[in-house]
Amino acid sequence: MVSLIQCTNITKRYGSTLALDNVSLTLEAGAPIALIGPNGAGKTTLFSLLCGFLRASSGDALIMGHQAGSKALHGRLAALPQDANLDPRFSIGHQLELFAKLQGFIGSKAGNEVKRVLQQVDLSNTYDMKPEALSHGMRKRILLAQALMGSPELILLDEPTAGLDPPNVKVMRSLINDASKNATFIISSHNLDELEKVCQSVVHLDKGHLKGVVDIHQARNSGYLTVVMAELKTTDQDIRESLLSLPGVTAVSFNAPNRFVLEYDSKQHSNLDMLLMQHLSEKGWPYRQLVNGRTLEDQVYF
Ligand SMILES: Nc1ncnc2c1ncn2[C@@H]1O[C@H](COP(=O)(O)OP(=O)(O)OP(=O)(O)O)[C@@H](O)[C@H]1O
């Protein structure tokens, strides 16, 4: 079977800057995939290479079996760049129709496709409006509609929720969830909490290197407990020493104030959560939340 994306030894240099360093990566179609990494990690560069906007200095990127940027991918891949914008001069319907025509929709089919994608993002009423009449969240949804045009199989979204308030983030998440039944999304973002809610796997870049590809939920649920404590009068060190005495506990790490991740042998000690609750209660250390597994942030950055 042909993989959705197959990158082999991709290197990209901008002059003396090495933006991607020998990245090899295979991704399959399916649930949304997150692309993460600190500023300058190479995320936008990787997106641009996959879209065919840039050429690798060396290495190969195949998308659905075709060279990135090749004509065979026309209409099968779409991207929403981080700085994408709408033209303030034209109505939403007008500019989306133009885009539909560029995609190959002819005559009334272009208008029908625009109506279809506007309906998909629940903004049919904006057809005759100009961008200035829309909120930031609505404009992002219009840009998502543009990416959905022609029903591409692969959609790359660069920071789709940047600058959105929580209700709009939720709407965007739900739209992506619905659309991911028919397309594979790769989403680049710094919002790990949000990615965790939408994506199944994570591609982690750092300084141009591929640090790994993680299946979020599989890694999350075996052998880790995340505990958020109420305010404590004791030290992290006291808690760590005390918890390390519990059966099967191998490590306790404090990655944020009042929050720790406990690592344990889940095969031998499947009921550690119960023991932990009892232990905390005996010690008089009240906790707010106890979750099986680790957050995405803990998985990739600690
Ligand atoms: N056009 C360019 N010319 C020169 N250097 C560039 C260019 N584009 C990116 N770079 C450099 O390449 C490296 C990777 O940049 P890139 O934009 O791909 O990272 P990123 O992970 O998308 O960062 P961010 O999260 O800040 O958007 C950085 O060191 C950046 O300064």
146 Cα to the center of ligand 1, angstroms: 25
Report how far apart, in Å, the C-alpha atoms of 189 and of each of 18, 32, 54, 58 are. 21, 13, 20, 26
What confidence score (pLDDT) does residue 291 get? 86
Domain closes at, from 153, 180, 215: 215
The CATH number of the domain holding residue 266 is 3.30.70.100
101 Cα to the center of ligand 1, angstroms: 32
- Candidates 212, 214, 205, 213; CA nearest to 21 is 205
Whether residues 82 and 184 share a domain: the answer is yes
What confidence score (pLDDT) does residue 269 get? 83
Taking the C-alpha atoms of residue 213 and residue 300, their distance in angstroms, rounded to an integer, is 10
172 Cα to the center of ligand 1, angstroms: 26
Domain closes at, from 215, 243, 264: 215
Residue 184, domain extent: 5-215
Taking the C-alpha atoms of residue 50 and residue 53, their distance in angstroms, rounded to an integer, is 8
Whose C-alpha lies nearest to ligand 1, atom 12?
Answer: 19
Q: How many domains does the chain have?
A: 2
Whose C-alpha lies nearest to ligand 1, atom 16?
Answer: 42
List, as own/partner pairs, every contact residues 124-127 make where C-beta atoms lie below 8 angstroms and the sequence separation is at least 24, other chains included: 126/92, 126/93, 127/91, 127/92, 127/93
pLDDT tens per residue across span 217-234: 776 667 899 999 887 778
Taking the C-alpha atoms of residue 231 and residue 251, their distance in angstroms, rounded to an integer, is 22
Whether residues 160 and 293 share a domain: the answer is no
- Candidates 121, 291, 169; CA nearest to 221 is 291
What confidence score (pLDDT) does residue 220 get? 63
18 Cα to the center of ligand 1, angstroms: 9
Atom of ligand 1 nearest to the CA of 15: 4
Whose C-alpha lies nearest to ligand 1, atom 25?
Answer: 39
Choosing from 11, 43, 47, 156 the residue with most ligand 1 atoms within 8 A of its CB, the one to mutate for a pocket test is 43
Taking the C-alpha atoms of residue 100 and residue 257, their distance in angstroms, rounded to an integer, is 50
Helix axes 108-120, 136-148, angle to 10 degrees: 130
- C-alpha torsion angle, residues 260, 265, 268, 274 (rounded to 10): 10
Whether residues 152 and 111 share a domain: the answer is yes
Whose C-alpha lies nearest to ligand 1, atom 26?
Answer: 39
Whose C-alpha lies nearest to ligand 1, atom 2?
Answer: 14
Whose C-alpha lies nearest to ligand 1, atom 4?
Answer: 14
Taking the C-alpha atoms of residue 80 and residue 132, their distance in angstroms, rounded to an integer, is 20
What confidence score (pLDDT) does residue 217 get? 74
Domain closes at, from 215, 231, 264: 215
Query: Most distant CA pair in the chain: distance in Å?
Result: 73
Q: What parts of the chain have a pLDDT lower than 70?
A: 219-221, 302
The CATH number of the domain holding residue 60 is 3.40.50.300
Choosing from 11, 13, 23, 39 the residue with most ligand 1 atoms within 8 A of its CB, the one to mutate for a pocket test is 39
Please, how many CA atoms are within 13 Å of residue 285, restricted to the half-sphere of its CB? Answer: 24
Angle at 21 between CA 25 and CA 157, to 5 degrees: 55
119 in helix, strand or coil?
helix
Q: What percent of the chain has pLDDT over 70?
A: 99
